[in-house]
Structure 1
Amino acid sequence: MWKLLHKLKSAMVYDADREFYSKVFPDSVEPRDLLRLRKMDHSDLPGVMAIETVNYEFPWTEGVFKDCFRAMNYTNWICEAPDETIAGYAIISVVAGEAHIMNISVNPAFQRQGVGRKMLEHLIEYARPRAETLFLEVRPSNPGAIHLYRSSGFREIGIRKNYYPAKNGKEDALMFALDLVPML
């Protein structure tokens, strides 16, 4: 049922010209422009878990993802390739004028192709009318993500000591923030 609804939704926002030109003139369309963002549903969990377990030494459990569906202030997103492969996923929480990126992860087959940036841009635009500031944490051992966040306008605001589980104990988290309301 959910797959059928997603296909109907995709059909309604389908860009025939972009799809046509991407096939006839492959260099005319950026691959990331063919990616679609949609709300995550329970049927996506096997694909999400496959990405989560390959990307992280200490992955979230399926139960954590199910809790994200139940939490009223969480919104869970899938970034989908034209062939319906899950290219990535992202989870954001918005409460009391603040937004927090809880998880953002890219399928290894799609890394370094703009998927992370596309999801991040989507989360920023999603949060903008709902929050004044967007926060996130990142491991210092993840320079690619740090570069993405800095190049997207996030600024480092602090450190959370012993935040992440690590092979030899705990790893700190760098805290980042992005102001969503223009400063006067």
Structure 2
Amino acid sequence: MRWWDIDPVLELEKDLFPEDAWSRGMFWSELAHARGPEANRRYLVAESDGRIVGYAGLASSGELADVQTIAVARDHQGTGLGARLLTELLRAATAFECHEVMLECRVDNVRAQKLYERFGFAPIGFRRGYYQPGNVDALVMRLTVASDSGSAPGASSVQGTEIND
């Protein structure tokens, strides 16, 4: 993801997460840590026919990585794009030499939970009222990263969709 991707990503963000969408400043702050020798973030966009149809981000700190976000446009959900984005994030976690990857997922987002479980994430707890202003709980999940996470289970090919930094 680059700075010029922020506006189309924000449109998608607001469509998918109307109550708790990230702000422009949040994306700028994350991207500020995604380049250069001290980079500890990886942000991706998925494009199809010149349109951003998905994005994902990962933050790392020491041996721990955290999936910050994964989003797929409604008309591309169920195509395997979420799995491809997650696969790329796990590759980034390996490149950052992280041994564990954490994430939070809305308790009512069963589709995402099933995706994460296919990749080996396991629930480890809850964060009450994590998603605001809706006061929705988050399911916390963890994955111990294998050295060959580049061939993650559940990943699939999506024709005509390109994933870029």
**TM-score calculated relative to the size of structure 1:** 0.72
Q: Deviations over 1:130-181 (max 9, x none)?
A: 20001100000101001100111100111112211143xx121110011014
Corresponding residue number in structure 1 for 2:14 = 53
Q: What secondary structure sits across from 1:153 in the alignment?
A: coil
Higher alpha-carbon Rg: 1
**1:51·1:108 contact (CA, 8 Å) conserved in 2?**
no
Structure 1 segments (4+ residues) deviating >3 Å: none
Shift of 1:70: 1.4
Corresponding residue number in structure 2 for 1:171 = 136
Matching of residue 76 in structure 1 with residue 38 in structure 2: no
**1:134·1:179 contact (CA, 8 Å) conserved in 2?**
yes
| Amino acid corresponding to residue 84 of structure 2 in structure 1 | K
Shift of 1:90: 0.5
Structure with greater proportional helix content: 1
| Amino acid corresponding to residue 106 of structure 1 in structure 2 | V
Q: In the comparison of the two structures, how many residue pairs are matched?
A: 140
**1:133·1:181 contact (CA, 8 Å) conserved in 2?**
no
Matches within 5 A, 1:1-184: 40-56=1-17, 57-71=19-33, 72-81=39-48, 83-129=49-95, 130-167=97-134, 170-181=135-146
**TM-score calculated relative to the size of structure 2:** 0.80
- Structure 1 residue runs of 5 or longer lacking an equivalent are 1-39
Cα RMSD of the aligned pairs, angstroms, is 1.3
**1:45·1:62 contact (CA, 8 Å) conserved in 2?**
yes
Q: Deviations over 1:40-97 (max 9, x none)?
A: 001111110110000002200111101111134222111122x222120001001111
CA distance in 2, matches of 1:164, 1:55: 14
